[in-house]
Amino acid sequence: MTMQEREGDSGLSERVVKISRVSKVVKGGRHLSFNAVVVVGDGEGQIGVGLGKANAVPDAVRKGTAAAKKNMVTVAVKDNTIPHEVLAKYCGSIVMLKPASPGTGVIAGATVRAVVELAGIKDILTKVRRSSNPVNVVKATFKGLQSMKDPEYELSKRKELAENAKIKEEQRQNYRRTRARS
């Protein structure tokens, strides 16, 4: 099925990436149901992915949207791109995400594009390897974006940890000196 995009009342946009018809053979014949992979984002670094299953398409989409809103995460976006390159794997899909220079645009397939654009990333290079199953590609992209760290924030955090370790070591040295005197 095709991709659909809707704007919610809470400022979140949602995109239906894939709708699958699933049939289960039971005693009375075939039982049909639907799966919907939905991506929700605000375009400013907040993103969520959800999978909804129901007997009707609208119900599956609604359930997928609710699941996506529940597992929203914040993504590190730096100058309309990502801070560093990342390779993410989910099941059989491997997704490579690379930062791009301003003006490049989103170089991605439809499934990766849905996740990246709703996260607010405007310049990025991507490549999907091995399995191109939309469910696994969306989850691999989500996992990759989730694993990214902002370099400046991480550096300041490490400096702070190093300073705390230095202070604790000085305290230990002072304690040992006072114990040795007495």
- Reported as a single tens digit per residue, the pLDDT across 104-159 is 999 999 999 999 999 999 999 999 999 999 999 999 999 999 999 988 888 899 99
State mean pLDDT over 87-98.
Answer: 97
Residue 5's pLDDT is: 67
What confidence score (pLDDT) does residue 8 get?
Answer: 62
Q: What is the pLDDT of residue 179?
A: 85
Give the lowest-confidence range in 4-8, 10-14, 17-21. Answer: 4-8
| Cα(8)–Cα(112) distance, integer angstroms | 21
Q: Say what the pLDDT of residue 170 is.
A: 93
**What is the predicted pLDDT for the residue at 9?**
58
Residues 61-90: b if buried by 16+ CB within 10 A, e if exposed: bebbbebbbeeeeebbbeeebbbeebebeb
**Helix, strand, or coil here: 162?**
helix
DSSP category for residue 78: B
Structure confidence at residue 180 as a pLDDT band (50, 70, 90): confident
H helices of the chain, in order, are 57-70, 110-119, 134-146, 151-181
Q: What is the pTM of this model?
A: 0.85
The helix, strand and coil proportions of the chain, stated in percent and rounded to the nearest 5, come to 35, 35, 25
Which phi and psi (to 5°) does residue 118 adopt?
A: -70, -20
pLDDT tens column, 152-177: 888 899 999 999 999 999 999 999 88
pLDDT in tens, 27-56: 999 999 999 999 999 999 999 999 999 999
